């Protein structure tokens, strides 16, 4: 067989270059999907917002769509993102292709366990819509509960000054009247709780990530409690007024 005949079987340089661009586009889309995780969530809107932040690291990609799956069950994919990859070339038209990735509570979802490193399982090629345009992530309007800075001082003063037989609602009213207002965007104060038992007062405000626990003992001493995070988890003691009234030796880390 002649050399000329053999050369006819080899891919043209242009085809080889397109294959490289296609492979790079797929890799970019898959890496982008893998990099999106910021924490547990059950809404595709969060991933769309995180995509808007992450796209600065992937100049070849554009977010062109996102959709939620109505009725999705926790642990299953609850939505998908669509991206367009545009691979520029030194001459001629750029190479354009589109991909879709699904997401669940733990990040980008694949059909089978252990396919995290498989670009084909992470980013699925789709037809680029003829009218595809960049989309803006949805605005997050959800309130952000916080323990306002300065609340601890207020609670200690209120509990220290409580005399006689105070009612829980009176203590709550006094704290709320003096508590600083949240200052951050969309921030709202957690709803506090108070429990009075056996001449002790327990105060709680917050959640596992931001918990204020204060106790006034029968002696009149007021103590701000620093409880290990593991004990504040759901199913454990939690950030509750009842927790503030437990003996101190029960508020230490079990490890």
How is the chain split into domains, by residue range?
Answer: 11-126, 144-250
pLDDT in tens, the chain (255 residues): 434 444 445 555 557 888 999 999 999 999 999 999 998 899 999 999 999 999 999 999 999 999 999 999 988 999 999 999 999 876 678 899 999 999 999 999 999 888 999 999 999 999 999 988 999 988 888 899 999 999 999 999 999 999 878 999 999 999 999 999 999 888 999 999 999 999 999 999 999 999 999 999 999 999 999 999 999 988 899 999 999 999 988 888 765
Provide the Cα torsion 50, 51, 54, 56; round to 10°: -130
95 in Cβ contact with 18 (< 8 Å): yes
Residue pair 115/159 in contact by the 8 Å Cβ criterion:
no
**Residue 159 · residue 179 · CB < 8 Å:** no
DSSP secondary-structure letter at 2? Answer: -
Torsional class of 36: left (φ above 0), alpha (ψ -120 to 50), beta (otherwise): alpha
**The pTM of the whole model exceeds 0.75:** no
């Amino acid at each position: 067989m002649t050399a000329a005949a053999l050369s006819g079987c080899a891919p043209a340089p242009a085809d080889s270059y397109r294959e490289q661009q296609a492979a790079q586009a797929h890799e970019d889309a898959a890496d982008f999907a893998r990099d999106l995780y910021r924490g547990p969530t059950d809404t595709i809107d969060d991933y769309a917002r995180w995509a808007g932040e992450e796209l600065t690291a992937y100049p070849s990609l554009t977010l062109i769509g996102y959709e939620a799956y109505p009725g999705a069950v926790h642990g299953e994919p609850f939505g998908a993102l669509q991206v367009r990859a545009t691979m520029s070339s030194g001459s001629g038209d750029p190479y354009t292709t589109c991909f879709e990735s699904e997401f669940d509570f733990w990040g980008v979802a694949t059909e089978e366990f252990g396919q995290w490193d498989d670009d084909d399982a992470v980013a699925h090629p789709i037809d680029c819509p003829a009218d595809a345009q960049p989309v803006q992530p949805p605005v997050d309007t959800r309130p952000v509960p916080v323990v306002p800075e300065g609340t601890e001082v207020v609670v200690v003063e209120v509990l220290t000054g409580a005399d006689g037989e105070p009612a829980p609602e009176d203590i709550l009213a006094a704290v709320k009247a003096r508590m600083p207002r949240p200052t951050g965007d969309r921030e709202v104060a957690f709803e506090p709780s108070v429990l009075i038992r056996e001449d002790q007062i327990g105060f709680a405000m917050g959640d596992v990530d931001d918990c204020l626990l204060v106790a006034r003992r029968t002696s009149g001493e007021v103590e701000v409690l620093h409880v290990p995070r593991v004990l504040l988890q759901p199913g454990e003691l939690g950030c509750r007024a009842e927790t503030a009234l437990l003996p101190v030796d029960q508020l230490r880390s079990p490890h």
